[in-house]
């Protein structure tokens, strides 16, 4: 699913490129209950009432919250960032549950970042959101485990994306990872996607509640 028309055009182009032009695309604002309900109603119709996998890749914070000091974050900006970046995982997992129960299995993967565990200057409220996201996935893994639904996360190294453009000093973050990671390079979007595919696949059928780092080993470094 996508948020708006711009994203829909991009996804349409992508599915044409990879050879699945008939794949359905649904618009959904995951912060709105009615949109989430409609999304899974449409998905149920499109996929014979069953759903095996869900990738949550949603994050947002107002630009003001990503500049200056974290202590200056306003209550409104904090709420918006948390609702969009964290609660949407809960809402989507709840919406997908019945379709995954019908499939007798399911896997949910979300995307996080090292800033949820360590201080990354200027990442600010998004770091707090990622910490909450990682805690949420563990509680979801506990709740959904009896339904044979797994919930995990991929913690990706910094990659040039539209979302990353809003983070001050992002270019220096890229350089630092390339210099200090054990593999002496940055990770690619394909490597992150491969890790997500693993967690969605039966190869990871015994894995839930985990965060898998895909950052060229940067997270293990002390200095």
Contact 160, 219 (CB under 8 A): no
139 a catalytic residue: no
Q: What is the C-alpha to C-alpha distance for residues 176 and 46, in angstroms, rounded to an integer?
A: 44
Q: Is 123 a catalytic residue?
A: yes
Catalytic residue among 87, 123, 198, 218: 123
CA distance 128 to 136: 12
Provide the sign of the torsion angle of the four alpha carbons 61, 118, 221, 209, taken in this order: negative
CA 70 to CA 128: how far, in whole Å?
Answer: 10
The rounded distance, in Å, linking the Cα atoms of 11 and 61 is 23
Q: HSE (CB half, 13 Å, CA atoms) of 18?
A: 7
Catalytic, out of 113, 139, 198, 218:
113
The H or E element spanning position 105 is: none
| Residues carrying an active site annotation | 113, 123
């Amino acid at each position: 699913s996508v948020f708006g028309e711009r994203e829909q055009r991009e996804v349409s182009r992508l599915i044409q490129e990879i050879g699945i032009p008939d794949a359905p695309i649904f618009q959904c604002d995951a912060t709105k209950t009615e949109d989430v309900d409609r999304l899974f109603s449409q998905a149920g119709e499109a996929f014979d009432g069953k759903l095996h996998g869900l990738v949550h890749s949603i994050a947002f914070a107002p630009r003001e919250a990503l500049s200056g000091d974290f202590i200056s974050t306003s209550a409104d900006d904090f709420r918006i960032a948390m609702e969009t970046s964290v609660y949407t995982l809960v809402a989507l997992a709840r919406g997908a549950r019945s379709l995954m129960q019908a499939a007798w299995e399911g896997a949910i993967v979300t995307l996080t970042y090292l800033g949820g565990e360590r201080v990354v200057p200027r990442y600010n409220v998004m770091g707090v959101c990622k910490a909450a996201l990682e805690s949420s996935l563990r509680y979801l893994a506990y709740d959904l485990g009896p339904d044979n639904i797994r919930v995990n996360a991929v913690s990706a190294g910094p990659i040039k994306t539209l979302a990353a453009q809003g983070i001050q000093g992002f270019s220096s973050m890229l350089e630092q990872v390339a210099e200090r990671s054990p593999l002496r390079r940055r990770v690619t979007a394909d490597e992150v996607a491969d890790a997500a595919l693993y967690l969605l696949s039966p190869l990871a059928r015994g894995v839930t509640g985990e965060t898998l780092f895909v950052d060229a080993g940067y997270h293990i470094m002390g200095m």
